[in-house]
Amino acid sequence: MSSLLSTPDVLKYHLYRKETDMRCGYNALSGLVRNELDKKVKDGDVFIFINRPRTSLKMLLWEKGGFTLFYRRLETGTFEVPSFNLDDKSMQITTDQLQFILKGIALKEIKYRRKRY
């Protein structure tokens, strides 16, 4: 199963904890980043937003010259998200976790094996 979306390890991925209205565009989502998360949207991090039923996901990224907005809607099923600390407004996730979320892989069942060097 390949992905059309490249998610480089050099980027930081922030998953917003609260449900988000998917009608929000660039300005509203960047306002959430600035006002709710107290982060700078133009730092080059990726901010991930999911709606209440967890069937739609948006990712916001500032690249040189403008915003990029990625939108994914599931036809069936829901996006699984990692467990949150209830005090946190967002959590940083890894590139692997993001790919698992996008592909619909159950995060609780993933087990990493030790690497031998």
What does the pLDDT look like over 45-80, one tens digit per residue? 999 999 999 999 999 999 888 999 999 998 888 998
* Cα 95 to Cα 32: distance, rounded to the nearest angstrom: 22
What does the pLDDT look like over 83-101, one tens digit per residue? 877 778 889 998 888 988 8
- If one counts every other C-beta atom within 10 angstroms of the C-beta of residue 26, the result is 14
Query: Which one is predicted more confidently, 51 or 1?
Result: 51
Query: Once rounded to an integer, what is the mean pLDDT over residues 19-28?
Result: 95
**pTM of this prediction?**
0.83
* Cα 63 to Cα 65: distance, rounded to the nearest angstrom: 6
Q: What's the confidence (pLDDT) of residue 113?
A: 65
Query: Which one is predicted more confidently, 13 or 1?
Result: 13
